[in-house]
Amino acid sequence: MMFSMPNHWREELRLFLGIVLIAGLAGTLTGQLLVCLLLGLLVYLGWHVFQLARLPRLLAQNDQPGPSPVGLWKDFVRQIREQQDSSHSHSLELSYELDRYHNAVNTLPDAVVILDPSGRVDWSNPAAKNLLNIDWPDSRGRLLTDLAADPVLAEYLSNGNFATPLTITSPANRAKILSTYIAPLDHDVSRLMVLARDITPEYYLDVSRRDFVANVSHELRTPLTVIYGLAEQLNMDQTDPAMLQRSTELILQQARRMNELVSDLLTLSRLEMRQESAPDETVAIAELLATLVEEAHALSGPAQHVLHLEIRSPEGLRGNAQELHTAFSNLVSNAIRHTPNLSEVTIKWLVDHAGAHLSVTDTGEGIAARHIPRLTERLYRVDASHSRDTGGTGLGLSIVKRVLENHEAELEIISTVGGGSTFTCHFPPGRVVSL
Ligand code: ADP
């Protein structure tokens, strides 16, 4: 196997031998061989010291004026430059990554705060200002418990048990509810990371769900208690036939009430679960309203309301016939139930440039303005006992609202106490169908 010497070694050897040769020649000529060889070695050493001295400048810039390094120095400089280049590109990559994380944390809607071991702010992102009252960099070095002054948060921090997140009111905006997570930083457990997320919509949804369950339970318990009491009485020796008939009637009445409530609840939940992609059909509104008027006559019964049906436009609607029937029939049924006997109820269908409009106008008791914005809340009633007496479940207008949402439509309520009410469903032009 042939040994091949690397280039830089060859160059180095050539340099060394060149110097020795010149020194030898000079020594032979002058008869001072030893001195010349020693001088030659000094020149060789001086060359290396010179290279060493200019090394920092050589490495600082690539195009260094003066002789370029040769031999071992050439290779040495090359290797160091390669390492410099690779560590430079590595640090560029790192700073790019860092920028990316920094940008991501800065655009987060959640507040992120790093605390030092004494609970002082070390760093925070922009969202921390609106959620936790921590403004970077002004808040740097200040105690979190001073900036976000909340006794519950202070206690949570001092307990040091962060297994479950803490729900607090935002110290920067009392209308916001925050879920706060705290965790020690991985690489330094004495420093904490605080993450606060705005959960206001979820929080109120949860509250309204809990209220709803409580209210429904209450609504169901009332008739159930009546049925229970009457059944107990019947179970005892009950010989008075008039009493027996009265009890049975009451039981039936309460059972019907429960049945209506459960059926409205089911309708509402079905509407809420309806897939947006449920196929729409063409609904002939004039026909649907004619059926509705017949049903309304039956509902009114001996109360003999006077029903007017005004079909001002021939168009129909693109939608779900069953849902629309449920919504309109709730409006008509409300009008009948809240209007005195023999009064007038008008149902009007009209299409114009703004879309289609279905209105139900009654001449009944009317509604005070303060109640109007809340009428479509589930189980909301202006007068609970009156509504129950007239057969209302308190879910009718919630059902109407949900159906209209499913059809991109809106409900408008105009009413004056003692002057009657008009409930209008406004459908967008895109829902109108020519028949
Ligand atoms: P309910 O089943 O009790 O009628 P709704 O959700 O349909 O429940 O209506 C909510 C409340 O709105 C009713 O309890 C009633 O107080 C009021 N309301 C609805 N429609 C009318 C109307 N046409 N006239 C007067 N009040 C009405």
Q: Please, are residues 143 and 126 in contact by the beta-carbon 8 Å criterion? A: no
The answer to whether 119 and 134 have CB atoms below 8 angstroms apart is no
Model confidence pLDDT, tens digit, residues 299-336 = 999 999 999 999 999 999 999 999 999 999 999 999 99
Cβ(178)–Cβ(131) under 8 Å?
Answer: yes
Phi and psi dihedrals of 279, rounded to 5? -65, 140
- Domain 281-433: assigned CATH number: 3.30.565.10
pLDDT of residue 242: 82
- Ligand 1 within 6 A of CB of 381: yes
Q: Which stretches of 68-224 are assigned E, i.e. beta strand? A: 111-115, 121-124, 166-169, 177-184, 192-198
| DSSP classification of residue 63 | S
Per residue in 344-370, pLDDT tens?
A: 999 999 999 999 999 999 999 999 999
State if residue 333 touches ligand 1 by the CB under 6 angstroms criterion.
no
What is the chain's length? 435
CB 172 within 8 A of CB 162: no
Q: Is 307 left (phi over 0), alpha (psi -120 to 50) or beta?
A: beta
With a cut of 80, say whether residue 425 has pLDDT above it: yes
Q: Which atom of ligand 1 is nearest to the CA of 398?
A: 6
Percent of the chain with pLDDT over 90: 57
| Spacing, Cα 174 to ligand 1 middle (Å) | 34
Structure tokens at 187: 């690489």
- What integer is the mean pLDDT of 200-220? 89
Q: For ligand 1, is residue 335 a contact (CB within 6 Å)?
A: yes
Fold designation for 108-198: Beta-Lactamase (3.30.450)
Spans of all domains in the chain: 7-84, 108-198, 214-273, 281-433
Closest atom, ligand 1, to C-alpha of 395: 6
Which residue is listed with tokens 């318990």? 221
Please state which of the four CATH numbers 1.10.260.30, 3.40.50.180, 2.60.120.260, 1.10.287.130 is assigned to the domain occupying 214-273: 1.10.287.130
- Of the pLDDT bands very low, low, confident and very high (cuts 50, 70, 90), residue 62 is low
Neighbours of 158 (CB within 10 A): 9
Q: What percent of the chain has pLDDT over 70?
A: 94
Cis peptide before 201 (omega within 30 of 0): no
Residue 388 pLDDT: 65
**Rounded to the nearest whole angstrom, what is the distance from the C-alpha of residue 201 to the centroid of ligand 1?**
27
362 lines ligand 1 (CB under 6 A): yes
Atom of ligand 1 nearest to the CA of 335: 23
pTM: 0.66
Q: What is the pLDDT of residue 67?
A: 67
Provide the mean pLDDT of the chain.
89
Alpha-carbon dihedral angle through residues 144, 145, 151, 153, given to the nearest 10 degrees = 20
From CA 171, how far away is CA 14, in angstroms rounded? 78
pLDDT, average across residues 151-171: 89
Residue 393 beta carbon below 6 angstroms from any ligand 1 atom:
yes
* Residue-wise DSSP of 250-317: HHHHHHHHHHHHHHHHHHHHHHHH--TTPPPEEE-HHHHHHHHHHHHHHHHGGG--EEEEEE----EE
Distances (CA, A) of 212 to 13, 206, 386, 401, 424: 94, 10, 20, 17, 26
Task: Decide whether any atom of ligand 1 lies within 6 Å of the 254 Cβ.
Answer: no
> Residue 414 Cα, ligand 1 centroid: separation in angstroms?
13
